[in-house]
Each structure stands twice: as C-alpha cells, then as structure tokens.
Copies of this chain bind each other. A is one copy, B any other.
Amino acid sequence: MTEASGHEGQPSPPTPRVRLVDVAREAGLSKTTVSAALNGTGRLSPAVRERARETARRMGYRPNATARHLRAGRARLIGYVVGGAPDALWTYLESPYFARLTGATAATSLLRGYAVVLLPAGTLQGEWSDLSLDGVIVADPVAGDTVIEDLLAAGIPVFSDRSVEGRFGASWVDVDAEGAVAEALDHLREQGARRPVLVVPDIATRFHVEVEAAHRAWCAAHGLPELAVRVAESGNGPVVRAVETVLDTPDGAERPDALLVVAEASPPLVLEAARRYGYEVPDDLLVVLVSEDATALYTDPPVTTLSLRPEAVAEAGVEHLVAVLEHGRREPAGTLVPTRLDVRASSVRSGRVE
C-alpha cells in the first residue's frame, strides 16, 4: 500500500482516503467541531463553521458511511426478496408485475431514505448474514417457506403478505383477490358472458389460492358453471397452451365465451391463440388478463387488463416497514390494496369502450 507499484503507467495515489481527523488537523480544529460543522449541528461561530466546510471541500472529504451506520445502529438498508422456487432465483424480474414491484419498491424506499438490496429467492439465510439489513421485504412468499420465520427469529422486521398477520414485528399488504375476481367476472357477466373460464397458475402463492376460492364462490353465487384450468408451470408457453386447451372444444360441446387469465401471459400471444382456434375477440370471446404487460395497449383489439397495482403494493409495503423501523411501531398493521380493471375493447361485446 505504502509504495505504489513502481513502473506503472497511470499510477494513482492509492488514496488513503481522507478522514474527519485529517480535515480537523488541517483546519486546526477538533473532529467534534468539524463533525458539527458539516452536519449543521452544535453551537459554532459562523466563521469556524465555514472554515471547516471549506477545508473539507478542499480536501475532498467524504464521510465513511459504515462508521456512521455503526454509530447510528442501522444502515438504512432493506432487503428485498421474492418468494419462489430456488431453481428460478432471479427470473421473477422478467415478469412485468415483479419488474414494476421491484422498481417501485426501490423508488419508494429511496424516498424514505433507504436503499434496497436484491436478494435471491429461497432460504439462503447464510448468505445475508454479513449484510446489515434493517428490515426485509418478502414479496409473494410461497406457503411453507421458512425465510420469514428465520428473519423474525433474528429480530429483523419483515414485511410481507397477510400470512404474517399477527406475527411480532411483521406487517403485511395484500392484493384484494376476492375483489379482483368479482370485479372482473361481474364485468364479463355484464358484457354477456355465460361461460367464462378461469386460467390460474397452480402454485401456492396466497393470491392465487384466494383467486380460486373467490372464483368458486362467485360462480356459485351467480349460478354460472365453475370452469377453471390450472397451469402447472409458469411462463408464456405453458399458459398459452392452457388457453388452447380451453379453446379447443370438441365439436358440439359448448364453447367458452370469456377468458379470465390470472397467470402472467403476453396479451398478444393470448389473442393470437384465440384467433388460431377461430375465435373473434371480442365477438366470440371476451378476454380479460391479470397483467401489467404494457403490450395490452397496442394489440388489436387492445386487451382489458386487471392491474394488481404493484406500485401501490410497494408503497404500502415500504411505508409499513419504515414505520416499524423508525418509530418502532409494534402493533400489527396491514393494507389491502384494491385492484384496478382497465376496460378495453377485448372485453366489450358491443365493440364500444365506454
């Protein structure tokens, strides 16, 4: 360190970073005074304050964040992890919903003064142990995952979905699955659908479990047949195939007249599948997709989507977590985020969008 490698080409000083004491010495002040000057605290004469600031600026002083954190007892860092299969640790980002959830989480956190650390799905607790996280946001945990237990046991505040309700130091936000299903199905029914089919992924995420239950209840309440298909895998391929099995009815059998796809799927691909099987959208088939995919706006016809409002979810989540972190709020708290149906031509029988 002391002796920079001799020959070199563009040898830079190994920059033994300037500390607070260096500034103090240079300015002929104590570190206490300089610290107060830079932070705008303490009782200092304007002259001294300015001298300290000027010296710090001149020397290129940049405070050591780690030391601050140690002193402050927290690092203003929150972890962000998406529950899910350990074999698909990072692919969640490719889903528009999680892309927006992730971005919104980072943005909101930053506004509140916290930075977001990306963590891998699955319970790799060991990996995080040398990260100083003030709290962790667990998005869409799968049932049976132990991450949350581990974190709470470690005394780290957690923010997740309703499954953590009542747990100490945990708060939650959830998407209103029941309202979502009702909103979408009511809309389809108003538009004349009598045989709407639900396509839903076969995973243990709380939201999807609730969607199935809500669908069952709705069908019973409205006296319509309970038509549903479960998709074993995620991704466009499996979902589109599932849609095809729904549309490919044997001759003479009753055809579905509406589709509510809750699995993440590309809007144009779903439309394409419908056309392949001879359906005209929206005349033969009303289509509603639960999706944040922006391509829904640009298809022909544009596709009605049900947004889970990831930005709202993220905001509520960060807000709750920060409340716990800052004010030590300890009462369990939660938010239920309503969904938003964006009606477009694909689900309006008359072809007329309000």
Contacts and interface: CB of A to CB of B under 8 A. Distances in A.
Interface of A: 5, 8, 10-12, 14-15, 17, 60, 62-70, 75-77, 89-91, 93-94, 96, 99-100, 102-104, 106-107, 110, 115-120, 127-132, 153-155, 166, 168-169, 235-237, 240, 266, 268-269, 272, 276, 294-295, 297-300, 328, 330, 332
Contact of A99 (B14, B76, B99, B120): B99
Nearest to A18: B155
A168 B10 contact: yes
Closest 5 A/B residue pairs (Cβ): A90-B103, A268-B268, A65-B132, A93-B99, A106-B118
Nearest to A237: B298
Nearest to A65: B132
**Quick one: copies of this chain in the complex?**
2
14 contacts: A62-B129, A65-B131, A69-B132, A75-B132, A89-B103, A90-B107, A91-B103, A115-B118, A115-B131, A236-B295, A236-B297, A266-B295, A269-B295, A272-B300
B235 A294 contact: yes
B66 A70 contact: yes
Contacts of A127: 110
Contacts of A65: 75, 129-132
Contact of A269 (B76, B110, B298): B298
Given A12-B168, A68-B130, A75-B66, A120 B107 contact: yes
Interface centre among A76, A100, A115, A169 (most CB of B within 10 A): A115
A40 B5 CA distance: 33
Contacts of A131: 65, 76-77, 115
Nearest to A103: B90
Contacts of A75: 65-66, 132
A236 B303 CA distance: 15
Given A65-B129, A69-B66, A76-B130, A237 B269 contact: no
Contacts of A120: 106-107, 110
Contacts of A102: 93, 118
A340 B240 CA distance: 26
B104 A90 contact: yes
Contacts of A76: 130-131
B62 A154 contact: yes
Nearest to A128: B115
A94 B90 contact: no
A256 B52 CA distance: 67
Contacts of A5: 330
